[in-house]
Structure 1
Amino acid sequence: MHRKLLATAICSALAWPLVAATARAQEDSPDQPGAEDQPAAAPTELDRILVTGSRIPRVQLETASPVVTITAEDIQRQGFRNVSDVLRAQPLATGAVQDNQFSGFTPNATTISLLGLSPSFTLILMDGRPLADYPLLYNGQSNFTDLTSIPTAMVERIEILPGNQSSIYGSAAIAGVVNIILKKHLDGIQLDARLGGYSDGGGENQRLQLTGGKSWDNLDLTFGLQYSHQDPIYMRQRDFTDTTDDNPNPDLRYGSRTFIILNGITGQYDEPGTGCDNVAANFGGTTIRDFRPGRGFFCGSRAQPGFATLLNEEEGVSAYFNSTYRLGDNANFYASVLYGKNKAKNDSGSRFWIPNYNAGTGGYIWNQAEQTLETYQHIFSPEEQGVTNYTTDSSSYNLALGFNGTITGSNWDYDLYYSRSGYEVKSDQLWPLVDEMDAFFQEQFLGPQLGTTSGYPIYEPDKQAFYQSITPEQFRAFSGNLRNNSDTWTHSFNVQLTNPELFRLPAGAVGVAGVVQFGYQHWNNPVDPGVSGDAYFGLSGTSGSGNRANRAVGVEFSIPLLKTLTASLSGRYDSYKNIHAGSDAQGTYKVGLEFRPVESLLLRANYATAFRAPDMGYVFTGGNGFFSQQTDYYKCETYGPNPNCPFEGNSLEGIQVANPDLKSINAKSYGFGFVWSPNERHTLHADYYNVRIEDEVLPQSFSRTLFDENECRQGRLDINSPTCVDALSRVQRGPLNANPLLSETVQLVTIKAINIAEEQISGITAGGSARFDWGNWGEFGFGLDYNLTLDHTTVTFPGDPENDLLSPQQALSAEFKSVLTGDISWSKGPWSANVHGIRYGSTPNYAAQFGIDTTPGTSQGKVGPHMLYNMSVSYDVTDKSTLSVTVNNVLNTEPPFDPTYDGSQGFAPPFYNIFAYNGYGRAFWVQYRIDFGTN
Structure 2
Amino acid sequence: MDRKLLATSISAILAFSAWADTAYAQQDTTGTAASDEDKKDATDIAAVVVTGSLIPQAQKETASPVTTITAAEIQRQGFRNVSDALRSQPLSTGAVQDNQFSGGFTPGATTVSLLGLEPGFTLILIDGRPLADYPLLYNGQSNFTDLSSIPTGMVEQIDILPGNQSAIYGSSAIAGVVNIILKKKLDGVQFNVRAGGYSDGGGRNERFQVTGGKAWGALDLTFGFQYSQQKPIYGYDRDWADSTNDNPDPDSRYGSRTFIILDGFSNTYYDPGAACDSLRGNFGGSTFRDFRPGRGYFCGSRDEIGYTTLLNEEKGTSFYLNGSYQLNSNAELYGSLLYGINESNSNSGSRFWSPDINGSGGYIWDPVNFRLDLYQHIFSPEETGVGTNMAKTRSNSYNAAFGVRGGFGDSNWDYNAFYSRSQYNLTDNQLWPLTGKIEDFFRNQFLGPQLGTYYGYPVYTPNNAAFYQSLTPAQYRSFQGAIHTESTTWTHNVNLSITNTDLFELPAGSVGVAALIQSGYQVWNNPTDPGIIAGEFWGLTGTQGSGKRANDAIAFEFRVPVFSTLTANISGRFDKYRNIDAGGDSKATYKLGLEYRPIDTLLLRASYATAFRAPDMSYIYAGESGFFTSVTDYYRCSVEEPGPIGDCSYNSFQVKGSRTGNRELESITAKSFGYGFVWSPTQQFDIRADYYNVSIDNEVSDLSINQLLFDEARCRQGQLDINSPTCVDALARIVRNPNSGLQPNALQSVRINPINVSKERVSGVVANVSYTMDAGRAGEFVFTGNYNISHSHIFQRYPGDVPRDLLRDATASSEFKSVFTGDITWNIGDWSATLYGTRYGNTPNYAAQLDDLDNAGTVGPHMVYNANIAYKLNENSGLALTVNNLRNTRAPVDKTYNVYPYYNIFNYNGYGRALWLEYNINFAGK
What is the TM-score with the length of structure 1 in the denominator?
Answer: 0.92
Supply the distance in 2 between the matched residues of 1:887 and 1:279 (Cα, whole angstroms).
Answer: 43
Change (3 A) 1:416 1:261: same
Change (3 A) 1:686 1:278: same
Deviations 1:297-336 (A, max 9, x none): 1111111000111100000100000000011110011010
Supply the distance in 1 between the matched residues of 2:329 and 2:378 (Cα, whole angstroms).
Answer: 71
Q: Offset of 1:747 from its aligned partner?
A: 4.6
Supply the distance in 2 between the matched residues of 1:37 and 1:13 (Cα, whole angstroms).
Answer: 29
Aligned residue in 2 for 1:203: 203
Aligned residue in 1 for 2:321: 321
Q: Offset of 1:538 from its aligned partner?
A: 2.4
Moved more, 438-447 or 601-610: 438-447
Q: Offset of 1:47 from its aligned partner?
A: 1.0
Change (3 A) 1:669 1:727: closer
Q: Offset of 1:700 from its aligned partner?
A: 4.3
Q: Offset of 1:9 from its aligned partner?
A: 14
User: Would the aligned equivalents of 1:582 and 1:662 in 2 still touch at CA under 8 Å?
Assistant: no
Deviations 1:501-534 (A, max 9, x none): 1111100000001100000000000011222222
Deviations 1:438-482 (A, max 9, x none): 111111111222333333222222212111100111111111111
Supply the distance in 2 between the matched residues of 1:269 and 1:894 (Cα, whole angstroms).
Answer: 36
Counterpart of 2:413 in structure 1: which amino acid? W
User: Would the aligned equivalents of 2:83 and 2:110 in 1 still touch at CA under 8 Å?
Assistant: yes
In angstroms, what is the RMSD of aligned CA positions?
Answer: 3.6
Aligned residue in 1 for 2:841: 841
Change (3 A) 1:623 1:26: farther
User: Would the aligned equivalents of 1:891 and 1:922 in 2 still touch at CA under 8 Å?
Assistant: yes
The equivalences for 1:738-757 within 5 A come to: 740-741=741-742, 747-757=748-758
Q: Which secondary structure state, in structure 2, belongs to the residue aligned with residue 54 of structure 1? A: coil
Supply the distance in 2 between the matched residues of 1:378 and 1:933 (Cα, whole angstroms).
Answer: 63
Aligned residue in 1 for 2:768: 767
Counterpart of 1:63 in structure 2: which amino acid? T
Q: Which secondary structure state, in structure 1, belongs to the residue aligned with residue 679 of structure 2? A: strand
Q: Which secondary structure state, in structure 2, belongs to the residue aligned with residue 324 of structure 1? A: strand
> How high is the sequence identity, in percent, across the aligned residues?
57
Aligned residue in 1 for 2:880: 884
User: Would the aligned equivalents of 1:14 and 1:767 in 2 still touch at CA under 8 Å?
Assistant: no
Aligned residue in 1 for 2:51: 52
User: Would the aligned equivalents of 1:512 and 1:556 in 2 still touch at CA under 8 Å?
Assistant: yes
User: Would the aligned equivalents of 2:10 and 2:677 in 1 still touch at CA under 8 Å?
Assistant: no
Aligned residue in 2 for 1:343: 343
Q: Which secondary structure state, in structure 1, belongs to the residue aligned with residue 99 of structure 2? A: coil
Change (3 A) 1:667 1:6: closer
Change (3 A) 1:210 1:450: same
Structure 2 residue 317 is matched with structure 1 residue 312: no
Supply the distance in 1 between the matched residues of 2:41 and 2:632 (Cα, whole angstroms).
Answer: 77
Q: Offset of 1:752 from its aligned partner?
A: 1.9
Structure 2 residue 428 is matched with structure 1 residue 432: no
Change (3 A) 1:480 1:18: farther
Aligned residue in 2 for 1:906: none
Counterpart of 1:617 in structure 2: which amino acid? S
Q: Offset of 1:774 from its aligned partner?
A: 0.9
Structure 2 residue 853 is matched with structure 1 residue 862: no
Structure 1 residue corresponding to 2:662, chosen from 656, 659, 675 = 659
Q: Which secondary structure state, in structure 1, belongs to the residue aligned with residue 143 of structure 2? A: coil
Change (3 A) 1:12 1:536: farther
Moved more, 837-846 or 227-236: 837-846
Q: Which secondary structure state, in structure 1, belongs to the residue aligned with residue 306 of structure 2? A: helix
Change (3 A) 1:20 1:829: farther
Q: Offset of 1:578 from its aligned partner?
A: 0.3
Supply the distance in 1 between the matched residues of 2:6 and 2:856 (Cα, whole angstroms).
Answer: 27
The equivalences for 1:432-831 within 5 A come to: 432-627=433-628, 650-700=653-703, 740-741=741-742, 747-807=748-808, 809-831=809-831
Aligned residue in 2 for 1:28: 27
Supply the distance in 2 between the matched residues of 1:444 and 1:328 (Cα, whole angstroms).
Answer: 80
Change (3 A) 1:5 1:77: farther
Supply the distance in 2 between the matched residues of 1:898 and 1:709 (Cα, whole angstroms).
Answer: 28
Moved more, 285-294 or 749-758: 749-758
Change (3 A) 1:829 1:697: same
Supply the distance in 1 between the matched residues of 2:819 and 2:714 (Cα, whole angstroms).
Answer: 45
Q: Offset of 1:751 from its aligned partner?
A: 2.8
Supply the distance in 1 between the matched residues of 2:746 and 2:187 (Cα, whole angstroms).
Answer: 70
Deviations 1:857-913 (A, max 9, x none): xx222211000000001111010001110001000001001122113xxxxx21000
Aligned residue in 2 for 1:82: 81
Supply the distance in 2 between the matched residues of 1:403 and 1:378 (Cα, whole angstroms).
Answer: 63
What is the TM-score with the length of structure 2 in the denominator?
Answer: 0.93
Q: Which secondary structure state, in structure 2, belongs to the residue aligned with residue 465 of structure 1? A: helix
Structure 2 residue 871 is matched with structure 1 residue 872: no
Structure 2 residue 368 is matched with structure 1 residue 374: no
Structure 2 residue corresponding to 1:919, chosen from 902, 910, 917 = 910
User: Would the aligned equivalents of 1:366 and 1:453 in 2 still touch at CA under 8 Å?
Assistant: yes
The equivalences for 1:109-128 within 5 A come to: 109-128=109-128
Aligned residue in 2 for 1:262: 262
Change (3 A) 1:5 1:512: closer
Moved more, 623-632 or 788-797: 623-632
Counterpart of 1:615 in structure 2: which amino acid? D
User: Would the aligned equivalents of 1:11 and 1:767 in 2 still touch at CA under 8 Å?
Assistant: no
Supply the distance in 2 between the matched residues of 1:579 and 1:479 (Cα, whole angstroms).
Answer: 39
User: Would the aligned equivalents of 1:611 and 1:664 in 2 still touch at CA under 8 Å?
Assistant: yes
Change (3 A) 1:478 1:291: same
Supply the distance in 2 between the matched residues of 1:826 and 1:620 (Cα, whole angstroms).
Answer: 54
User: Would the aligned equivalents of 1:357 and 1:434 in 2 still touch at CA under 8 Å?
Assistant: no
Change (3 A) 1:456 1:641: farther
Moved more, 426-435 or 19-28: 19-28
Total equivalences in the alignment: 918
Aligned residue in 1 for 2:832: 832
Counterpart of 2:902 in structure 1: which amino acid? F
Q: Which secondary structure state, in structure 2, belongs to the residue aligned with residue 626 of structure 1? A: strand
Supply the distance in 2 between the matched residues of 1:581 and 1:815 (Cα, whole angstroms).
Answer: 35
Supply the distance in 2 between the matched residues of 1:236 and 1:81 (Cα, whole angstroms).
Answer: 22
Supply the distance in 2 between the matched residues of 1:323 and 1:35 (Cα, whole angstroms).
Answer: 39
Change (3 A) 1:494 1:380: same
Moved more, 115-124 or 745-754: 745-754
Supply the distance in 1 between the matched residues of 2:714 and 2:196 (Cα, whole angstroms).
Answer: 60
Aligned residue in 1 for 2:154: 154
Instruction: Show structure 2 runs of 5+ residues with no match.
Output: none
Q: Offset of 1:703 from its aligned partner?
A: 7.6
Supply the distance in 2 between the matched residues of 1:722 and 1:924 (Cα, whole angstroms).
Answer: 53
Supply the distance in 2 between the matched residues of 1:646 and 1:250 (Cα, whole angstroms).
Answer: 17
User: Would the aligned equivalents of 2:540 and 2:628 in 1 still touch at CA under 8 Å?
Assistant: no
Counterpart of 1:227 in structure 2: which amino acid? Y
Moved more, 203-212 or 260-269: 260-269
User: Would the aligned equivalents of 1:95 and 1:114 in 2 still touch at CA under 8 Å?
Assistant: yes
Q: Offset of 1:267 from its aligned partner?
A: 2.1
Q: Which secondary structure state, in structure 2, belongs to the residue aligned with residue 689 of structure 1? A: strand
Supply the distance in 1 between the matched residues of 2:177 and 2:268 (Cα, whole angstroms).
Answer: 55
Instruction: Show structure 1 runs of 5+ residues with no match.
Output: 904-908
Structure 2 residue 907 is matched with structure 1 residue 929: no
Q: Which secondary structure state, in structure 1, belongs to the residue aligned with residue 908 of structure 2? A: coil
Counterpart of 1:47 in structure 2: which amino acid? A
Change (3 A) 1:3 1:60: closer
Supply the distance in 2 between the matched residues of 1:603 and 1:282 (Cα, whole angstroms).
Answer: 67
Aligned residue in 2 for 1:129: 129
Supply the distance in 2 between the matched residues of 1:13 and 1:82 (Cα, whole angstroms).
Answer: 40
Deviations 1:602-644 (A, max 9, x none): 0000000011001101000012423456688999999999999
Change (3 A) 1:99 1:39: closer
Supply the distance in 1 between the matched residues of 2:834 and 2:577 (Cα, whole angstroms).
Answer: 47
Supply the distance in 2 between the matched residues of 1:648 and 1:347 (Cα, whole angstroms).
Answer: 23
Q: Which secondary structure state, in structure 2, belongs to the residue aligned with residue 519 of structure 1? A: strand
Change (3 A) 1:43 1:175: closer
Q: Which secondary structure state, in structure 2, belongs to the residue aligned with residue 501 of structure 1? A: coil
Counterpart of 1:929 in structure 2: which amino acid? N
Aligned residue in 1 for 2:398: 397
Counterpart of 1:621 in structure 2: which amino acid? A
The equivalences for 1:280-299 within 5 A come to: 280-299=280-299
Supply the distance in 2 between the matched residues of 1:4 and 1:777 (Cα, whole angstroms).
Answer: 41
